[in-house]
């Protein structure tokens, strides 16, 4: 099982967030599949649109949950979200300007999102919030 399929190792043990992370991993899988079929550039517009929508709602949901649980690293986590949101906007701008290497760039960004942000940063709040009764 690879990065492009949901695996319990990605779980932060908060149902709402896990469901949203499944959507992100699905987007990564869609783009990867399209790239392997030589259709990455064709699929990129929809994936980027979905990613922008996802980023807005997911980060807001995650931040709401962290705030409600009094998560002590909230500000640092939010700063990472802000950076990622600006990165998604920059990637979309590059796409609109017709840059051709963007598919590999997007794929790399999404892989980093899953491997570093979910598996690193997000995994830190799970136990803290679980201990506060949030699951």
List pLDDT tens digits, range 19-43: 999 998 988 888 788 878 887 777 7
Whether 42 contacts 95, CB under 8 Å: no
Domain boundaries, the chain: 21-131
List pLDDT tens digits, range 96-117: 888 756 677 778 888 888 888 9
Please provide the average confidence, as pLDDT, over all residues in the chain: 88
**Within a 10 A sphere around the Cβ of 114, how many other Cβ atoms?**
17
pTM higher than the cut 0.85: yes
For domain 21-131, give its CATH number from 3.40.50.620, 3.40.50.1110, 3.40.109.10, 1.20.120.50.
Answer: 1.20.120.50
Residue count of the chain:
135
C-alpha angle 88-90-94 in degrees, rounded to nearest 5: 115
- Helical H runs in the chain? 15-36, 40-68, 74-96, 102-112, 123-131
Considering just the CA atoms, what is the radius of gyration of the chain in Å? Answer: 15
């Amino acid at each position: 099982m690879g990065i492009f399929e949901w695996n319990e190792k990605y779980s932060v043990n908060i149902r709402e967030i896990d469901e949203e992370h499944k959507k992100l991993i699905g987007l990564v899988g869609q783009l990867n599949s399209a790239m392997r079929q030589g259709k990455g550039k064709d699929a990129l517009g929809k994936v980027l649109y979905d990613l922008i929508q996802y980023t807005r709602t997911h980060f807001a949901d995650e931040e709401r949950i962290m705030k409600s649980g009094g998560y002590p690293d909230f500000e640092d986590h939010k700063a990472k979200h802000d950076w990622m949101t600006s990165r998604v906007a920059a990637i979309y701008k590059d796409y609109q300007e017709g840059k051709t290497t963007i598919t590999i760039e997007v794929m790399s960004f999404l892989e980093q999102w899953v491997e570093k942000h979910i598996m690193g940063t997000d995994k830190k709040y799970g136990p803290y919030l679980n201990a506060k009764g949030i699951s």
